[in-house]
Copies of this chain bind each other. A is one copy, B any other.
Amino acid sequence: MEALKKKILEEGKVFPGEILKVDSFINHQIDVCLLDKIGEHFASKFSGVTKIVTIETSGIAFAVGASYHLGKVPVVFAKKETSAITKDDNYYAPSYSYTKKKEYQTFISKKYLSKNDRILIIDDFLATGNAVIALAEIIKQSGAEIVGVGIVIEKSFQSGRERILKQGLKLESCVRIKSLSDGISFE
């Protein structure tokens, strides 16, 4: 997606540890014109979607944008909890956040996933793939089918893509970043 590449080059900021900050249009302020184009892009890559699953917080806006282009299907956002109290009416999967440096449980209520669903997973970033793998694990527990995974920005020099493809899932990223070690370069 050329519009997104352009925006990343104009406004993205690289920090030590290969961190890309895109606060001005993705993670804190959201550029809704761009979000709409991203939603359109996802809709061109996946079909027959009955529900979109994402994870709080930054994935929510982009899941809604995708839904607008996929017949306004429902969006479910997984929640995170750091306590170990699990409830029977939720599906859980453990995950680890490198950004926040802590382990947490990702969960979705059993009520909102059915074995007849065809689910598209959406997230803003893909790095090691921990969040997406946790979502996939949760969806598999429900018996629903995973149509694929749509990512806004992929850091393709990390292990996320490989881990997702290994599970036999289709993966589409709007942009793939090859390296952040000497400025921003795309695949």
Interface residues of A (CB under 8 A from B): 23-24, 28-33, 35-36, 56-57, 60-61, 64-65, 67-68, 72-77, 79, 108-109, 111-112
Q: How far is the CA of A74 from the CA of B36 in the complex (A)?
A: 12
- A64 touching B35, Cβ below 8 Å: yes
Can you report 11 residue pairs joining A to B where beta carbons are below 8 Å apart? A24-B111, A28-B79, A28-B112, A30-B74, A32-B73, A35-B64, A36-B68, A57-B60, A61-B61, A61-B64, A61-B75
Q: Tell me which of B57, B72, B74 contacts A29 (CB under 8 A).
A: B74
Question: Which B residues touch A24, using CB under 8 A?
Answer: 111-112
- B28 touching A67, Cβ below 8 Å: no
Q: How far is the CA of A68 from the CA of B67 in the complex (A)?
A: 13
Question: Which B residues touch A30, using CB under 8 A?
Answer: 60, 64, 74-77
- B32 touching A74, Cβ below 8 Å: yes
Q: Tell me which of B23, B61, B77 contacts A28 (CB under 8 A).
A: B77
Question: Which B residues touch A36, using CB under 8 A?
Answer: 68, 72
- A109 touching B74, Cβ below 8 Å: no
Q: How far is the CA of A150 from the CA of B162 in the complex (A)?
A: 43
Specify the chain B residue showing the minimal Cβ separation from A109: B28
Q: How far is the CA of A76 from the CA of B32 in the complex (A)?
A: 10
